[in-house]
Structure 1
Amino acid sequence: MEPAAPRALPSGLATALVFFASGAVLVLEIVALRLVGPYVGVTLQVSSSVIGISLAAIAYGTWLGGRLADRYDPRILLAPALLLGAITTALTLPLVRWGGELLRGGAAPAVLLLAAMAVFLPAFLLAAITPLTVKLQLGDLRRTGEVVGRLSSFGTLGAITATLGTGFIFVAAMPSSWIILTLAGLLAVAGLGLGWWLRRRDPALAVPGKPRTRAVLVTVGLVGSGLGASAPTPCDVETAYHCARVDADPRVPGGRTLILNSARHSYVDLNDPTHLEFAYVQWLGALVDIQKTGGAPIDALHLGGGGFTVPTYVAHTRPGSKQLVLELDGGLVDLDRRELGLTTGPDLGVRVGDARVGLAEQPSGAYDLVVGDAFGHLVVPWHLATREMAADIARVLRPGGMYAQNVIDYPPDRFIRAELATVADVFPHVALIAPRDALDGRIGANFVIVASRGPLPLDEIRSHLDLVDEPVELVSGAGLEEFVGGARVLTDDYAPVDQLLAG
């Protein structure tokens, strides 16, 4: 005689359990991207690693949950799965933050390992809940399709709800650490509550010594939460897009460095807005200085704000200039106002939103200068690096207006060559500013592309570049064509920016 099948969960409880567990996995996946970003960047490879590790965890967790459901009473496994999911979720923070300090960089093994630390264990455990729940509900084989379909549907709806809720609400409302710890707390409450309800419904599920086990699990969870709260964090402020902090320069009383995702992004001198610290910003400053004559006001559009170093430089060296900055991160703008002395107004406006969308809204022929300095970590967002983007920039420039674009690349310099080919496909006159070692493929560096529909004042640009702190080359004509070689033009249909940068 076969043993009686375990009593099914109430339909509503089973549905809610699958909905919640599936949603928790997606919360972990999205937040994992933000946890690992400060250490290995925010690139296509990093996103692919987190998504791939999450899917692997779901696959293996579902497989193991199904095997366990056939061997044991699923009712004795559901609550422990939730509790272990809570503990491993809480441990995510110390694992990533301590591990991130050791794995800092962008090498593929480091990215994969850090992604696994961020999401694999809790996602693996939570993924086992669905097959355990399904097994409990399959009391009538004639309704197998209905049961599996309903639970699968609500699991997917839970994932969708968590994705939208995390992306639109949670990330904007609280730091990633709070999201993780709150999720761990909810999982723990759900596990303890479900275990209590199941034992009350069927006293036979009570196992001697289990209170001690629960006490151990709770202790481990509390320790994990404490370690997560005390683990080193690279952020002073976590915006919707960046892990940001501002460091004081011990050499300069008013010097401040803006760090975004552990990369030195901008430098601002609160006592001297005309001081340009970074080499590439000095090159941009030289291009600002040659606009018009005698410090006359200009109309400038900035794609990306960062620390607002260049817009502030324009405002102080060319009073009366009208400028608009398109900055995606409103939290970063608020940080600039608090920490970096940013003052906006009629002459220096900010539009919070995507740079390409904001560019499309600008009138034709409205600007003397467009500065492209938008980055996702060290990478120009792909949709800002295409021929279509360059064509829209050309549209908003006045005759004789200039486009200056900052690009970071590393040997063998595949991205900068492709971006030069792309810009040259729209603008008939293009030049490149870069250190000689970078042009020779010996070092990674900033490159600044200069483009115009009219002839560029190359002699005047060279004379101003001679005044910057470090020697730099201005390449144009045949030399630039040789450097670009046969690089392919980037388009909205083909722009593998991350892969080109990775070499």
Structure 2
Amino acid sequence: MAATPLKGWLARALVFYTSAAVLTLEILAGRMMAPFVGITLETFTAIIGIVLAGISLGTWIGGKLADQQNPRTYLPMVLAGASALTLAIPVVIAVVGPGVQGSGPGGVLVLTSIAFFAPATVLSMVPPSIVKLQLDNLDSTGTVVGRLSALGTAGAIFGTFVTGFVLVAALPSKPIVYAVGASLLVAAAVTWRSTGSREAFPMLMVIAVGVAGLLSAFASSPCDSETAYVCARVIPDDDRESGRLLLLDTVRHSYVDLDDPTHLEFTYAQTFGDVISTLEPDGSLDVLHVGGGGFTFPKYIEAVRPGSSSVVLELDPGLVRLAERELGLVTSPDLQVLTGDARMTLLGTPESSFDLVVGDAFGGLVVPWHLTTVEFTEQLAARLRPGGTYLLNAIDHPPNRFLRAETATLMEVFEHVVVLAPQRRIDRSAGGNFVLVASDSPIDVDAILANNQLRGDDETACFAECLVTFVDGQQPLTDEFAPVDQLFTP
């Protein structure tokens, strides 16, 4: 005898919402795991693959189970289980995350599998079970399957858009996860009441969710501020009272001295200073910054070159607010911040208007691929006045394929290019930060190295014929082909 179908509105709502919940968790996965595994192409590849695997397995199990027993008897349990697994995600990440930190793609796969595979699987059991339950006669099979499949897809689209465009910009990740888990619990209770089940579901539901909620309560967030893009932490320097270290996800991103804007803590930043001191004119500079971070350099340039102006292209409004709140950022007509993707906001800046462009934008340890290409570099070059300079910070490790490709990219656009780094990095025997300097006018390499040596640093300059050996045939990056995450060696 066929099982009695659920009420139409409830069946449609469950298919729609469970599909939406899967996509909501998928989008949140990258943000929640970023403090431990960063944000790279591998991270998103692992998330998409693992969640799809969970959807595939859950759909298969749900359909098979529906053929073996009446879905009315187990649907409330499935929803309660999905609720518990969803509520447990923060504690799973908090416990497992530190153990996989720095372990590369394998660690990303492990963390994603443990945290998100089970919730995706259990949630995906619901739609095929409801399809079977609603099929009360063969004459309407196509209509029922088509309608519920469409609703499931619509739910997935809804979850994607609402989460990506609204929720992550308005709320931290954990409250969103709690809301999804709690709503699944409500769905379980409504379904249980609707099915008229006499099983001990209420007690099991309370226990499952209670355990999950208790575990989640111990899952402290590693973030001082969770923006739509990063987990940000500001850490006071125990050795320097006014020093603040800005961590974005897993990366030491910026260092700011609240009392002394001329203090540059990081070695690459000091090399930036070596270059800036050689630039013409000797007085004030008009500077375009690609990436704000802790806003160290706009304040540094204003301090060492009084009267200078800076326009900063920063992706993340939340990071700007954090810098204003904790890192001493004060915007003004001479320090303007344009928020949004740099490829878009750059178009709103005037051509031939800047003496210097500073590139210091990162997604994890790598420069976002679309900010590395010949086309983007040409757009930056168009913003420079004659004789202007492009100054870029990049990270790579042997065999330095990304760094070599980016150097080839700059050589494609500018007449003069210099790579500054310790000799062992130039020789591909060590990795770390590289500073690239590019201009259509000759670069005063001797003056830069003199400043570097005066500080007691050991950097060398690779330019002219040295660059041919350094690049070693690596091709420039273009909008058509820029596999930055694959070229980069962590």
TM interval, shorter chain, is over 0.9
Partner SS state of residue 47, structure 2: helix
Distance in structure 1 (CA, Å) of the matches to 2:345 and 2:275? 23
Check if 1:316 corresponds to 2:303: yes
Output the amino acid matched with 2:247: I
- CA contact under 8 A between 2:86 and 2:119: conserved in structure 1? yes
Deviates more, 1:246-255 or 1:314-323: 314-323
Distance in structure 1 (CA, Å) of the matches to 2:217 and 2:168? 17
| 1:245 paired residue among 233, 250, 258 | 233
Partner SS state of residue 454, structure 2: coil
Check if 1:289 corresponds to 2:289: no
Q: Which runs of 5+ in 1 are unaligned?
A: 200-204
- Cα deviation 1:104-136 (Å, max 9, x = unaligned): 114222110101122111110000000000001
**TM-score, normalised relative to structure 1:** 0.95
In structure 2, what is the equivalent of residue 60 of structure 1? 57
Output the amino acid matched with 1:369: L
Moved over 6 A (4+): none
- CA contact under 8 A between 2:399 and 2:489: conserved in structure 1? no
| 1:46 paired residue among 38, 43, 48 | 43
- Cα deviation 1:419-438 (Å, max 9, x = unaligned): 00011111111000112222
Distance in structure 2 (CA, Å) of the matches to 1:352 and 1:335? 14
Q: Shift of the alpha carbon at 1:333?
A: 0.6
Q: Shift of the alpha carbon at 1:176?
A: 0.5
Q: Which runs of 5+ in 2 are unaligned?
A: none
Q: 1:258 to 1:447 in 2, by over 3 A?
A: same
In structure 1, what is the equivalent of residue 206 of structure 2? 218
| 1:374 paired residue among 361, 382, 401 | 361
- CA contact under 8 A between 2:6 and 2:194: conserved in structure 1? no
In structure 1, what is the equivalent of residue 250 of structure 2? 262
Partner SS state of residue 380, structure 1: coil
Check if 1:28 corresponds to 2:15: no
Distance in structure 2 (CA, Å) of the matches to 1:430 and 1:388? 17
Distance in structure 2 (CA, Å) of the matches to 1:363 and 1:97? 46
Distance in structure 2 (CA, Å) of the matches to 1:127 and 1:431? 54
- Cα deviation 1:230-260 (Å, max 9, x = unaligned): 2232201101111001000000010100010
Aligned-residue Cα RMSD (Å) equals 1.2
Q: 1:75 to 1:216 in 2, by over 3 A?
A: closer
Check if 1:143 corresponds to 2:149: no
Q: Shift of the alpha carbon at 1:469?
A: 4.7
In structure 1, what is the equivalent of residue 198 of structure 2? 206
Check if 1:456 corresponds to 2:443: yes
What is the percentage of aligned positions where both structures have the same residue?
A: 47
In structure 1, what is the equivalent of residue 78 of structure 2? 81
Check if 1:411 corresponds to 2:398: yes
| 1:346 paired residue among 325, 333, 339 | 333
Q: Give the alignment of 1:83-122 within 5 angstroms.
A: 83-122=80-119
Partner SS state of residue 383, structure 1: helix
Q: Give the alignment of 1:295-306 within 5 angstroms.
A: 296-306=283-293
Output the amino acid matched with 2:86: T
Q: How many residues align?
A: 490
Output the amino acid matched with 1:167: G
| 2:349 paired residue among 345, 355, 362 | 362
| 1:193 paired residue among 184, 190, 193 | 190
Q: 1:363 to 1:293 in 2, by over 3 A?
A: closer
| 1:277 paired residue among 265, 274, 281 | 265
Q: 1:502 to 1:350 in 2, by over 3 A?
A: same
**TM-score, normalised relative to structure 2:** 0.98
Distance in structure 2 (CA, Å) of the matches to 1:386 and 1:465? 29
- CA contact under 8 A between 1:365 and 1:397: conserved in structure 2? yes
Partner SS state of residue 254, structure 1: strand
- CA contact under 8 A between 1:306 and 1:332: conserved in structure 2? yes
Check if 1:230 corresponds to 2:218: yes
- Cα deviation 1:167-187 (Å, max 9, x = unaligned): 111111111011111111110
Q: Shift of the alpha carbon at 1:313?
A: 0.2
Output the amino acid matched with 1:232: S
| 1:425 paired residue among 403, 407, 412 | 412
| 2:178 paired residue among 181, 189, 192 | 181
Check if 1:438 corresponds to 2:425: yes
Distance in structure 1 (CA, Å) of the matches to 2:306 and 2:117? 54
Distance in structure 2 (CA, Å) of the matches to 1:167 and 1:350? 23
In structure 2, what is the equivalent of residue 202 of structure 1? none
